[in-house]
Amino acid sequence: MTKTVNVAIMGIGTVGGGTYEILTENREFMLRTQGIDFRVKKVLDKDLERIRSFGIPESAAASSVDEIAADKDISIVVETMGGVEPAKTFIEKVLLSGKSVVTANKELVSKHWPALEAAAKKGGAGLYFEASCVGGVPIIRALQEGLQANHINSIVGIINGTTNYILTKMTEEGMGYHDALKEAQQLGYAEFNPTADVEGFDAAYKLSILASLAFHTCVPYQTIYREGITKISKADIKTGLELGYRIKLLAIGKRRGDVIEARVHPTFVPASHPLAGVGGSFNAVYVNGDFVDDLMFYGRGAGARPTGSAIVSDVVYAAKAAAPLYSDFVNDGKVADGIEITGDFSSKYYLAVSVKDVPGVLAAVAGVFAKHNVGIESVSQRSGGSGAVIVFLTHTALESDVKASVTDIEQLDDTNKVESLIRVLA
């Protein structure tokens, strides 16, 4: 028996438009395979011309969110407006009216997930956000419904396509950061103001969501260590390649007992690791569970159709679900009692130290590392202006010990500064 489900879309930009195209172009396919006839009944957007550009009849243009909330025939609302407000107010209004919401808004979910879920529960509606993380890759569904038998030990991912594109261009074509960013902007991979991407905010929002789901406890985005890619140099990339590494902006979450680490930063990835080969605007997430061992999820992390695919997946899920799916942990936005989110994690490190070309300087720097219990795995040298640059690879060490070493190294008489500090995926 065919089931008709009426959908509203709030925001008909790139992603909203892609969602509309999938729901209309694949309507007959989903009717045949899913037994559901999806119909886009209302579209809300401040730009009426943009609505017309998708061939949407003006009769479907909603005048306000209140019109959508009051329409008893609409059961699912897709939000693709972006930003925090008015998206938060609009979503809460339709959730309280009993309509399930599907959103791709990672910033909103990471910052206000508890409030949105509370509104969903009060309205007896569902809140679904597969498209908020890693575009068309179904990582959230996997964590919620495919890996329940496992304690997830770690989740390591390339989850921002903009930075991966920039770093790929710098690595494969020798581009400088600014030239690679400019090309990414011209291709639509990067915004005019790229701060959210290149400074790691976007990846931190996504990691907050993914780590919370993976570790069954709130990992607030404010607790995530964050570092962007703007200081990565061509010299670092070249040296990394010589040492057998490719650089990626990684989002890393790990849990050991009641201690969680969550961090976003540029990372040297061994060339043999599956994540090293993820290039361009593609994304990938590498998950380790205690019974399933290692899994990798790979695909397009952004774009109208990949993201629209994830949105429509949630629309289908919401239409078929016997009951809404909520968090399986106390979702109050706070770090739970007994859980520690640590910033003093362990890693291997790459350091490029600018020094005066004088006898004894290498021994002096090595002495500082020894003082702070940081073991040296290898040492190399490259030219660096009037002096030299000594490149160190360390053994696994604590972040606090390495940071203390950096402070002391920069106070030595014959050193200029630590030009680069990049963590290495062990």
Which residues are catalytically annotated? 206
Query: Do residues 159 and 133 touch, judged by C-beta distance below 8 A?
Result: yes
Closest CA relative to residue 289, chosen from 157, 149, 150: 150
Task: State the amino acid at position 368 in one-letter form.
Answer: V
CA distances from 171 to 165, 168, 286, 293 (A): 10, 5, 22, 30
Tokens 């599956």 — which residue?
A: 274
Q: Could you give the CA distance from residue 307 to residue 298 in angstroms, rounded to a whole number?
A: 14
| Neighbour count for residue 298 (Cβ, 10 Å) | 17
Q: Could you give the CA distance from residue 263 to residue 250 in angstroms, rounded to a whole number?
A: 8
Task: State the amino acid at position 15 in one-letter form.
Answer: V
Q: Could you give the CA distance from residue 415 to residue 413 in angstroms, rounded to a whole number?
A: 6
Q: Could you give the CA distance from residue 106 to residue 157 in angstroms, rounded to a whole number?
A: 16
CA angle 240-241-246, nearest 5°?
75
